[in-house]
Each structure stands twice: as C-alpha cells, then as structure tokens.
Chains A and B, each alone.
Chain A
C-alpha cells in the first residue's frame, strides 16, 4: 500500500531515471549511426521526451483515480451491504453510508454505532486499501511502459525537440487558461446563487426598485421588516462615492504624473515616484481608520462652522480618502505611458519652438491618451470594488441622494453586512448579496471592456 505522496515521489524518480536512460539511448543510437551530429535533436531532448512519456500518462491516471476513488469505493461498499440495508430509502441509505465512511476515517458519527455499520466501515477500509494498491501498481506500470515505449522508438531520426516543444506549448496554454476558467467558475458560482435570489425576488424589482431594506422576518411572528430589494440606492451610493474618488484621483494623479515625467529632474523623480507608490501599499483598512477617525470628523466640524449639517458618515469623507488611495494607480500608469511616448516626438515639438506645456498639452497627452484612459478606467473599477474604506467610513442606510454630505451605502458594504455572521442560505436577504455581486461584476467587466476598446482604438490611430 502506497500513500499518494510516496507514489508521486516514485513517479518523479522514475522520470529522472527516464531522462538519463533516454539520453543515453539517443547517444548510443547516434554513435551507431556515425556520431552525435546524426541526431535530429540535441541529446537532452530525447531525455526530456522519455521523462515526459514516463510521468505524464501516469500522472493523468493518478489524477483520475483521485477524482473517482471515493465514488467507486462507496458504490462497491453499497453493493456488498446486506439486502435489508440496501433496500432502505435513498436518504436513510446515504446517511448510513456517510456514517460508515466517517467511522472508517475516525470522525464523529451521527447516530449510535451498530454492528452492521462497523462491518460496513471495515469493508470500506479494506476496499480502500485494495484500491490504493491497484492504483499504485497501475500508475507505476503505466509509467514504466511509457518510458519503455519511447526508449524503443529512439532513433537518430526521431523528432524529439518538436515533440518536447509541443508539450511545453501545451503546458503554457494550460497555465494561461487557468485564469480564464477560474473567472468562469467564479461567475457561475455567483450566477447560481443569484438565480436562486431572482426566483424569490423579481429581477425588475431588484434592478429598478428604489427602496433597499433587506431585513426580513425570519420567524413568522417577528414584527415589521418585510424586506425590499431595490438596488438603485445602493448602486447610486457606489457611483457617488466612486465619482468623488475619481474627482480627487484623476486630476491629482494626472498632474503628478506630468510633473514626474516631464518637469522633475532625476533626483526628485527617484525619490518622489517610490514615495507615491507607497500610497498604493498602505492597507485599505488603514485608509478606513483615516477616513472614519480623521477625515470625517474634520469635514463634519468644517461643515458645522459653515452652518451646514454634515452626516458623520458622509459620502464625501469616504470618497476623498478613496480618491487618495487611487492616486498612485492613476499617476503610476499615466507616468509610464507618458514616459513611453518616444523622445523624438518631444524633440519634434521643441524644434518648432513649442514650450514645455504646449508640448505636453498638444503632443504628449494626446499620444499617451489611450494609456491614460485605460489607467483611469482601471482605477474606476478599483474604486467601485473597494470595500474596506467604505465599510468603515460610509454608512449602512441606503439613501437615494446626490448630496455628498449625507451618508450613503455602497454595494460592497451591503454585501459585507449581508454575509457577515451566521446566515441561512435560503433567505432572499442572504442571496441578495450574490445578486449585488453579480451586478457589480458585470459593471466592472463592462468598464474593463470599454477601457480595452478605447486603448485599442486609439492605438491604431496613433501608431
């Protein structure tokens, strides 16, 4: 009986051996044919090819086994149960099977332990052992068979390099699709819960409703709180705070980028650019403190001196601090794209007697615009998805208002409050979080698509 880890190690050792065997065989074959130059590929490629044939098929087999091990063994165990048990209703049977499995692995069992259960558990352990043995032997046999198969085929004419390169390309493709499939997986899981939400609350009510009050009566006799799931106030809050943040971040970020790339000398730049980027490294939770404990009281005090009533969790405070947080995104990306504008364009502008500011306004910014717009839209996505600052500094009540001095709530804040703590997953209150998440995802996705399109369109025009 072999544990999976030992099996993997054995596979690795076999592959290493395969490498040397394949390489030696290739050199030997070449010698017979008249020198190492007769080989189609360098000897190492024959070694790698042998190692790949040794480990890849065996590894896939191993993965397959891991994936299906439990269901195969369980069905075998069920087949061997006494007929009285086998004919139980479906739920009872699966409860029994679960208990037997738990008993086998030493976990807590739901009911009392019967003799039948003990027998089933012992049988399960037994089957598991046999299964592991068979799997281990099969995997090793496949590995050795693969190795021998290539070994037999190694001749000077074998195009080992092409095959190895194809395998490497497959690996690269696999890696690059991981991100895509993860995204699809995330979307599907959110979509699944959101659909469950929309079965209970109509889509139109959610998308166009003006009242957000997700509290629902859990027990029949509870008072009030029938629940209202109109998402407009929540999204309006997100837009308001993001809008304030962008009004802070875009001008400041862009201007600091222009200063850094065109006006600052090397020493200033060497100090200022990293300092600015440190802003991006401050944890958002710290920005949250700053917003809630420093900025909000200051705005409130300033407001009361002017005789304006400012909420202590105003959208303005959260937006301002979020804007500060986003500055390095805008400035760093813009600085990079402005720097990437070829020196020859600056020379061209200076050579016709343009001043530095004319050069920046009329030549550099237009040339760098696609990158700048892309950076800004990326920053918008970031602002919309930002959670910690608004959780700490924005309010919880969903006000539909455009007044930045009032408290508003955002999508992310609502998702957090809906999901924090013990929740039941079949009430619309909890499921609403997924619907909000889905819409948020769609919105940021669209922003990113627009950003990419803008960048591509202008790039065609300018190069």
Chain B
C-alpha cells in the first residue's frame, strides 16, 4: 500500500494538462509481439502517460530509460495489467498482445499475466522454500501433474536462471534466505517457470551489487533467445549492454525510440542527448 502511495505521489509531479509531444524514431518493428497505440494512463485525473505508441518485437530486449517520474514504470505495468491493482489507475488506448487487445473485456487477466511475466525492482520471493517459489505457479496453472514433473521443471528452470548449482543442495530452504542477487534470479526463475512469452523487468538490478548485476545481465542475454524482454533501467550502461532497442521517456511522453546503438551514438532529440550524456537528470 505504501509503495502504491509513494508511486502515486511520484506521478503527481507530472504536470498540468498539455498536448503530448511527438515521438521521434521508428516505433514499428517487423512481426511485433506487442503493439501499443495511443496509450494514455491516468491516476485519478492526473495524466501519467500521454499518447504513447510503440511496438515490441519478438526475441528482442527493449529498454526503457528516462528520468524518475517519467512514467516508464507505469507504462511497463500497463503491459501485463499490473496497474489493475491500483484503484485510481485508468488506461485508455490499445495494447495488443499477439493481435488481441489485453484491455478488452473478454480477456481474463490471470492467464494474461502468466503469459506476460514480471520481475520487480526489489527481489520479492515468496516466504516459501526455493523449490516452492519456482514450482508454485506451474502447479496452480496445471502445467505439471506429478511430483516428478515438478522436480524436473524446477531443476530446468533454475538451470535456465543460472541458479541451480548454487541452490541445488538447499531447495527446501526459504527463498528469503538467499543473497539479493540470488533472490532476484530466483524471481526471474519464478517468472519463466510458467513459460511466459514476454518478461517485464522493472529496474531488476537497482538493489544489486555490480557482480550480481553482471550475472543478471548475462541471464537476460540468454533469455532473449526464448522470450521477449522489456526492461526499465536507470543505468545507461545497462541499457546499452543488454538491449537492442531503446525508448526514452520524459514527463509521460515517449520522446524517442530507436536501435540502442543509434540512441546512444546519435540521438536525434535534444532531450535524449542531454539525458544520455548526463547533462540532465
């Protein structure tokens, strides 16, 4: 609840009504996994996101950067309807996932979130054993039937998350007993255990040291072969290391989109340039 309130007050800094600014760069990709068109997000009557349109491609890492309060986390949470848990939040516009509008009344949000997983800023493993943390979601979705299947899935998932060797001898111990970096990889494992198609990551390394961060970044690189990943980050280096495309947000507007290389070498918009060169922030 407090986090929600904090979040709301951060969004409140955003501004009186005004026209949205035009996005520079190519928002389209070939054969997109998700398509967002004219997305507006309001908290009560305050607008946090203005008219954002962007495609999210298959097997790509899209990074979203921008100063605090620019709405990138809000936008990320729209993509799997996590914003539904906030009463005052209202989303308009179109967000298509494999061609279907996820805000359509016929869409059930529960299976949607299994397909579009999420990893949060602070590692938040369940107060359960490591094994249960990974095996729980597949169990409730009926992806595994027997104990043997669950064992197998837990092992393969933890291996994918690069955590297996570190925890294989203590699967029955609480996930909260791991180190911060291990907890975050456990959360990634938890997300991929239900075989999602998209993984949303909200500043997944902001609470971690550089070594743990490097491990997560390597992991993101490997996961790209199977999943689409959208990552919000405050670290420019991280965006340039892990992503293929980058989107720059400013005060609720999507200012510029492009390949990561282009954004970081020849940004077109003055604000983008100021931000990535550290003159603004």
* Whole-angstrom CA separation of A114 from B111 in the bound complex: 100
Chain B residues, Cβ within 8 Å of A344:
3, 120, 122, 124
Q: Is residue B174 within 8 Å, beta carbon to beta carbon, of the partner chain? A: yes
Segment touching B, from A26-34, A235-243, A346-354, A384-392: A346-354
Contact A348:B140 (CB < 8 A) given known A339-B1, A366-B127, A462-B127: no
Nearest CB of chain A from residue B129's CB, rounded to whole Å = 10
Report whether A353 and B128 are in contact in the complex, using a CB–CB cutoff of 8 Å: no
* Whole-angstrom CA separation of A363 from B137 in the bound complex: 11
| Contact flags A451-463 to B (C-beta < 8 A → 1, else 0) | 0000000000111
Size bracket, chain B contacts: 35 or more
Q: Is residue A66 within 8 Å, beta carbon to beta carbon, of the partner chain? A: no
Q: Is residue B136 within 8 Å, beta carbon to beta carbon, of the partner chain? A: yes
Report whether A347 and B120 are in contact in the complex, using a CB–CB cutoff of 8 Å: yes
A348 interface neighbour in B110, B111, B114, B190, Cβ under 8 Å: B190
Report whether B174 and A350 are in contact in the complex, using a CB–CB cutoff of 8 Å: no
Chain B residues, Cβ within 8 Å of A351:
80, 82, 113, 117-120, 191
Chain B residues, Cβ within 8 Å of A345:
124, 126-127
Q: Is residue A358 within 8 Å, beta carbon to beta carbon, of the partner chain? A: yes
Chain A residues, Cβ within 8 Å of B111:
353
Report whether A354 and B120 are in contact in the complex, using a CB–CB cutoff of 8 Å: no
Report whether B187 and A348 are in contact in the complex, using a CB–CB cutoff of 8 Å: yes
* Whole-angstrom CA separation of A349 from B191 in the bound complex: 10
Nearest CB of chain A from residue B201's CB, rounded to whole Å = 11
Chain A residues, Cβ within 8 Å of B194:
352-353
Q: Is residue B30 within 8 Å, beta carbon to beta carbon, of the partner chain? A: no
Chain B residues, Cβ within 8 Å of A352:
113-114, 117, 136-137, 190-191, 193-194
* Whole-angstrom CA separation of A365 from B141 in the bound complex: 20
A-contacting residues, B1-45, CB 8 Å: 1-4
Chain A residues, Cβ within 8 Å of B174:
461-462
* Whole-angstrom CA separation of A406 from B189 in the bound complex: 58
Q: Is residue B87 within 8 Å, beta carbon to beta carbon, of the partner chain? A: yes
Report whether A343 and B3 are in contact in the complex, using a CB–CB cutoff of 8 Å: yes
Chain B residues, Cβ within 8 Å of A366:
127-128
Nearest CB of chain A from residue B171's CB, rounded to whole Å = 16
Nearest CB of chain A from residue B185's CB, rounded to whole Å = 14
Which of B111, B118, B193 neighbours the largest number of chain A CB atoms within 10 Å of its CB?
A: B118
B-contacting residues, A353-405, CB 8 Å: 353-355, 358, 362-363, 366-367
- By secondary structure, the A interface counts as helix
Chain B residues, Cβ within 8 Å of A367:
126-127
| Contact flags A249-282 to B (C-beta < 8 A → 1, else 0) | 0000000000000000110000000000000000
Q: Is residue A342 within 8 Å, beta carbon to beta carbon, of the partner chain? A: yes
B-contacting residues, A289-343, CB 8 Å: 339, 342-343
Nearest CB of chain A from residue B258's CB, rounded to whole Å = 29
Chain A residues, Cβ within 8 Å of B120:
344, 347-348, 351
Report whether A349 and B126 are in contact in the complex, using a CB–CB cutoff of 8 Å: yes
Chain A residues, Cβ within 8 Å of B118:
347, 351
Q: Is residue B238 within 8 Å, beta carbon to beta carbon, of the partner chain? A: no
* Whole-angstrom CA separation of A343 from B137 in the bound complex: 18
Nearest CB of chain A from residue B20's CB, rounded to whole Å = 28
Chain B residues, Cβ within 8 Å of A266:
87
B contact set with A: CB distance below 8 Å: 1-4, 80, 82, 85, 87, 110-115, 117-120, 122, 124-128, 136-137, 140-141, 174, 176, 187, 190-191, 193-194
| 16 A–B pairs (Cβ distance < 8 Å), ordered by A | A339-B1, A342-B124, A344-B3, A345-B124, A347-B82, A347-B118, A347-B124, A348-B125, A348-B126, A348-B187, A350-B82, A351-B113, A352-B113, A352-B137, A362-B126, A363-B126
Task: For the complex of A and B, list the 9 residue pairs with the smallest distance between their C-beta atoms, beginning with the closest.
Answer: A353-B114, A351-B118, A352-B137, A344-B124, A462-B127, A353-B113, A348-B124, A367-B127, A343-B3
